[in-house]
Structure 1
């Protein structure tokens, strides 16, 4: 019977060898093994959030809830920080005032240089003449005997030009059951969409509920940019298809705000050159369509403070088309010529309501005349 045992053992060994050969051949013919399902690529971080249809084409995009929402900085501490940054900057207006206070003797040439510098700061010819004439009356032509007195006079005259009597608060009163509506307009490159996102943070910090309307349907990244800003503080965004009707998006945003009891709807509009008549007319249409649903409380014009007199031309045209109620000055930092604050207010008869002095998410604050003057005087 021993021979039977050895036969069985031989058959088992042959089977094992045959199985090994077949497995080796299959591997060579198939190639590398497939990765298991759990190693498949995860969705991109840029995948949009949940989508809720609010119209045949318009959608409201709400990004996935973040574990912890950001807490925007309060308005009061914002301007205190921006004022310190302004006082440490080297803008043209600040230099002109510092140079005047530092001289031992103020002669005709000193006054001429002072006037030229003020005009270069975009203060404008009229305000420059007013400020220079007032200082001539108050300060001795022979020199500044008391620098503190000179600084006090400068502060007083500058504050008068900036005009603290203007109402710089945002008008956010609305009818019962309707949101306050803020339209934000401006040319390309002024930081308009970014300003909308930063303004949302200001309002959230003040305890208001906010909804964003992405009515800039011509720039593909504009809606995505707004959605990202909103997600960080728990604010939703209403958007439409790329190239769609911006007036429809704005209308649906306001309608959604009313349905959901939102305090403020901020409508971002496409940047446009003030020289393009067709685009400017379309901006007027957006405003008229919104007003079929709710009153437009504010039309904020975003101006780049570094553009000087070109910004003044933009302001005139936009004001004619949509009745601008307030100015937002961006990039009012060390490279800016702070005199534009006075010039644009004189030109439009409306106040500068918000200023930006940096790229940070909370570098937008309500404009404070006293703080602005103190800042450029280095106080």
Structure 2
């Protein structure tokens, strides 16, 4: 091999080696940058959650079932959702309250259709009201007013009675839809209470979504130290809603966690602090005493707080919701009620009985599993939806 050929061969070999080395360096660089990205993303996730005890957040992200159940659509903006027409909104409410509508509206229509108007008919109306979970006391009040306001002996048209029933039902709950006003106090503390299984933690996640879309700085507190899954569930909502969550898996004293969370919320200039509590059985004295202790701890820091003590009730429990409201109200003075799971029960009539007995405002109603299915309660829309007659 001559010198020129030797040089050209060596130069080709060197170039090939350099290219190979460059590729290796480039691959290594890609791996390093990829690892940095993963670490950066993990930091972003952790920055959304104030960690008071170490826990692997990646495990929580794997629990997609809760988020899937909510049917979250991230691509749809909040403004686009707000553009839904009032007609569509009413149809959504009407369809969600189908079981209650079938129990109350359709049953009354069938009962009154071409029936002889006499005392027996009013007895049957009362029976239907009681079956619809409107309650004995409230049902008797409605019938008494119907007989008083209607000269039924001279009425041939049963539609008049139907419209009067509608008026009576509305008169019971017309002042119940007092929406929760967030005042200028920071943080505005909402203490969420209720028995096991009513949907407290899910409602808190939906409340966080509701207020975050109003550009409020929201923070959640995992005060339910008895149910380990409650913390994980709340953290998922925190990650999705991009709000901070205060929790401590090691501590069992929820009052101390809540105490720390209020101080953190004040330092971070948080607008709304929503506190979860353990699912207390309303007939257990020791649990109720602990709830009283939590209220006292909150008042030590902010005397006027909590600004809202929200009781969550499951509509499907029917008249048992009356007992729950009675005990909670006696112990900690409930300021607002949220009724959940109205889409899956025929016992939506319980709203009339609850408000008629306690006069506590109904703040929200839950009409579905989607995160946006927590609606501000509107008494007029509710009456129209449950008394809508399918043609």
Shorter-chain TM-score bucket reads 0.7 to 0.9
CA spacing shift, 1:226–1:371, aligned 2, 3 Å = same
Cα offset, 1:183, TM superposition = 0.5
Partner SS, residue 237 of structure 1: strand
CA spacing shift, 1:317–1:258, aligned 2, 3 Å = same
2:130 pairs, out of 115, 119, 124, with 119
1:102 aligns with 2:113: yes
CA RMSD of superposed structures (Å): 3.4
Q: Distance in 1 between matches of 2:192 and 2:96?
A: 25
1:159 is matched with 170
1:325 aligns with 2:335: yes
- Residues 49, 238 of structure 2: 8 Å contact kept: no
1:289 is matched with 297
- Residues 318, 324 of structure 1: 8 Å contact kept: yes
Partner SS, residue 291 of structure 1: helix
Cα offset, 1:80, TM superposition = 3.4
CA spacing shift, 1:93–1:184, aligned 2, 3 Å = same
Cα offset, 1:48, TM superposition = 10
Cα offset, 1:243, TM superposition = 4.7
Q: How big is each residue's C-alpha offset from its partner over 1:69-93, in whole Å with a ceiling of 9 and x where there is no partner?
A: 8755559979635422246444422
2:196 is matched with 188
CA spacing shift, 1:242–1:317, aligned 2, 3 Å = farther
Q: Distance in 1 between matches of 2:75 and 2:254?
A: 29
Equivalent residues in 2 for 1:290-309 (5 A)?
290-294=298-302, 295-309=305-319
CA spacing shift, 1:58–1:245, aligned 2, 3 Å = farther
Q: Distance in 1 between matches of 2:49 and 2:344?
A: 45
Q: How big is each residue's C-alpha offset from its partner over 1:6-36, in whole Å with a ceiling of 9 and x where there is no partner?
A: xxxxxxxxxxxxxxxxxxxxxxxxxxxxxxx
Q: Distance in 1 between matches of 2:288 and 2:52?
A: 27
CA spacing shift, 1:351–1:232, aligned 2, 3 Å = same
Q: How big is each residue's C-alpha offset from its partner over 1:251-273, in whole Å with a ceiling of 9 and x where there is no partner?
A: 22222221112111100101011
Q: Distance in 2 between matches of 1:103 and 1:58?
A: 69
Q: How big is each residue's C-alpha offset from its partner over 1:318-370, in whole Å with a ceiling of 9 and x where there is no partner?
A: 11221100111111135232221121123322121111122222211111000
Higher helix share: 2
CA spacing shift, 1:54–1:377, aligned 2, 3 Å = closer
1:227 aligns with 2:223: no
Partner SS, residue 278 of structure 1: helix
Cα offset, 1:281, TM superposition = 0.6
Larger Rg: 1
* TM-score between both structures, scaled by the size of structure 2: 0.75
What runs of 5+ residues in structure 1 fail to find an aligned partner? Answer: 1-36
Equivalent residues in 2 for 1:162-181 (5 A)?
162=173, 164-166=174-176, 168-175=178-185, 178-181=186-189
Q: Distance in 1 between matches of 2:362 and 2:320?
A: 17
CA spacing shift, 1:146–1:277, aligned 2, 3 Å = closer
Q: Distance in 1 between matches of 2:197 and 2:224?
A: 13
Q: Distance in 1 between matches of 2:266 and 2:133?
A: 42
- Residues 219, 273 of structure 2: 8 Å contact kept: yes
CA spacing shift, 1:207–1:243, aligned 2, 3 Å = same
Cα offset, 1:230, TM superposition = 2.1
Q: Distance in 2 between matches of 1:209 and 1:46?
A: 22
Q: Distance in 2 between matches of 1:207 and 1:239?
A: 23
CA spacing shift, 1:194–1:55, aligned 2, 3 Å = closer
Q: Distance in 2 between matches of 1:151 and 1:161?
A: 16
